Amino acid sequence: MFARRSGILLHVTSLPGSHGIGDLGDSAHEFIEFLAGTGQKIWQVLPLNPTGYGDSPYQCFSAFAGNPLFIDLEVLRERGLLSASDLANVPQFPEEHVAYAQVIPFKEELLQKAASAFFADGADSDRSAFDDFCQKNSQWLEDYALFMACKKVHDLKAWVHWDAGIRRRDPAVLEEWRRKLSSELEYHRFAQFEFFRQWEKVRDRCRRHGISIMGDIPIYVAHDSADVWSHPELFRLDERGQPTAVAGVPPDYFSATGQLWGNPLYRWDVSAASGHRWWIERCRAALGMFDLVRLDHFRGFEAYWEVPATALTAADGKWVKGPGEELFRALQGELKELPFVAENLGVITPGVEALRDEFGFPGMSLLQFAFGNDPQGPSFRPHNYSRELVAYTGGHDNDTTVGWWTSSGVGESTRTEEDIRKEHDFTRAYLDFESGEVNWILIRAVLASVANTAMVPLQDVLGLGSEARMNLPGTVSGNWRWRYKANRLTKEVRERLLALTLLYDR
């Protein structure tokens, strides 16, 4: 399933551009040209859904919808849905990070304006394409549009704090709100139509260059989401819609008390009774967007960490058996091919590996974890790699390689200063270096390995430090903000990456 190749991990938010956040316009297409010019065959992105709490792509308002912030406004201007004057006075957004509090109202105002122009004077062919899109995606689109419209009316409060009738989805009340908010519903339908239209152009360019896009399915969805509001029966909720048990992981490398994610847990028995229909449709939608998909927190499908909703930390949780083979058999029965990558990091058991092997999903390995006191450290060392593996220098939850090497790390993980000293000594011995550009040393190691797939975050290609870190687990603010400047993709960087890619038959 996975030929020998390499790729770059870069979320869409991190692309450069003048509108405050990466989008699906010129910068995305220019990045694809960079990938093609350096011999890369995979572009990996984080979830592309509309973000909610903490701007995290792992806490989204929908598991099906696209993020409207990724819509390129210049394309809307070219279509006549925005005027040149609309884009003449763009705020002075920071170049190297996303200022979400400024970007969101700026883009929403212009998207609302474009939607009004579309419905007032859109081309017949575009209106026909819009109607077709709405019909094909009605299964999730109508609930999502109503959810977002109701959220706005309720001052962006979580759905559990809405008026009782709409919170409980009383059929008559739903119909009343649909009539009352009809224009707002049309706006959300338009935004989704435009997102997916622009996304298809990105995919087409990737196909022309033989580049696959790897997407991401988080195992859990946000409590404050259209998914939980419209399918409460699938989740562990009380009569008011509040979670009775939530997700997390036990104490680990990142936190001595574990990570308390707070997402509601699934009622897997109810899911099974429906033939796992919601999961099938979720994966079908993802495979319609991507060529392959990373299954986030794969170990939770075998057994998951259940934490009482009243607990203050994840340390109070327990392991509970997950749906396992039954779920993937159901997915396989309907979707046939499952081009999944299993994110099998964390507390991994023989049962987790047996489930992964049963379906032939490649696992993941992060080289940054290979040299410290992680119990799984030996398995992350290249001499222990298997071919059916996706090998990374680091992931979106890690510091950049330069940051990992140069920062103290104390306070950001459970490592001590002595742990870090030993880790550095072992890294130098294993990779046979005394000094040098540590990012390129690790890049060479994963590209040279036998792993069929090697992935490198763009931050490591650019040699950036902790200022370019994407996420620090256990924190709720200041994450998911980093962007690169267009002039960073220099001729030297391109030639160096291409040379290593060719050298190791990627």
Query: Which active-site residues does the annotation give?
Result: 296, 343, 397
Q: How far is CA 384 from CA 112, 141, 423, in A?
A: 53, 45, 18
Structure letter (DSSP) for residue 6: E
User: Can you give the length of the chain in residues?
Assistant: 506
Compute and round to an integer the Cα radius of gyration of the chain.
23
Over the range 78-94, which residues count as b (16 or more CB within 10 Å of their CB) and which as e?
A: eeebbeeebeeeeeebe
Q: Give the residue among 329, 324, 423, 415 at the shortest CA–CA distance from 372.
A: 423
- In which element (H, E) is residue 103 found? helix 100-121
What is d(CA 433, CA 84) in angstroms, rounded to the nearest whole number?
Answer: 54
CB within 8 A of 46, min separation 6: which ones? 11, 57, 58, 216, 396
Q: How far apart are CA 399 and CA 401, in angstroms?
A: 6
- Whether residue 73 contacts residue 19, with contact meaning beta carbons closer than 8 Å, is answered with yes
The edge-to-edge listing of strands for the beta sheet with 245-249 is 259-264, 245-249, 303-308, 318-321
At 228, give phi and psi (nearest 5°).
-75, -40
